[in-house]
Amino acid sequence: MFKKNRAVSSDNETTSGEPPIGSGDTGVASCFRAARYWLFWLLFVATFALDQASKQIIWRTLPSGYDAPPVPLIPGVFNLVHVHNRGAAFSLFSGYGWLLVVLALGALVATFIWRRNLELERRAVQFAFGMLTGGIVGNVADRLLYGYVVDFLDVILPGYGHWPAFNIADAGICIGVLLYLVVSFRHPVVPKESAE
C-alpha cells in the first residue's frame, strides 16, 4: 500500500525538480523559479532604470529638435543631442508607433512563453534577454507616455557621418540580440532525443 503511494508520488514529480502543480506549495515553488532568473531580472531592471533616468536628464537639460546645437563629448566622434523618434531603433519605421508597441509587447510575451526553449536558465542567455527586454520596455514606456522615444546618443562614423541618434534602450536591444546570437552559435541547443 505504502509502496504504491510512493510510486504515484514519484510519477507526479516534474523532471525539473519543481513541486508539481497542486502540491500546496505553489508560493515557494514560484519563488524558487523566479530565483533561477536573478541575472535576467537584474539586467532587466538596470537597463530599464538607466534608460529612463538618462532620458529624464536629457529631457530636463537639453533643447529638443534636429536644429538644436549638439553637446560634444568627444569632438568629431560623439555628441549628446535631444531628438524625438516616432519610429523604431535608429528612427526606422517612423510613423508606425502603435504597430511597434504591439510588436514589442508580443516579443515580451513570446520570451516568457518560450523561455525554456530559449534556455533562459543559462547565465549568458539571461544577460542577453535581460538587456533586450529592459530596452524593449524602456522604449515602449516612452511610446505609451509621450507618443515618441527620446534619442540622445549621436555617434559620428569615419567615412559615413552621423549615425542615427539612439538611446540606452536601443543599445540594450542591440547588445542583447548580438549576445544571444553569439551564444546560440557557440553553444547550439541539443535536442533531448539526440542528447540521450
Catalytic residues: 151, 170
Cell of residue 3, nine digits? 509502496
Q: In what order do the strands lie in the sheet with 78-85?
A: 71-74, 78-85, 149-157, 161-162
Measure the CA–CA gap between 188 and 152, rounded to whole angstroms.
36
DSSP string, 55-74: HHHHHHHS--STTSPPEEEE
Contact between 98 and 11 (Cβ < 8 Å): no
Parallel, antiparallel or unpaired: strands 149-157 and 161-162: antiparallel
DSSP assigned state of 86: -
Element (H, E) at 49: helix 38-61
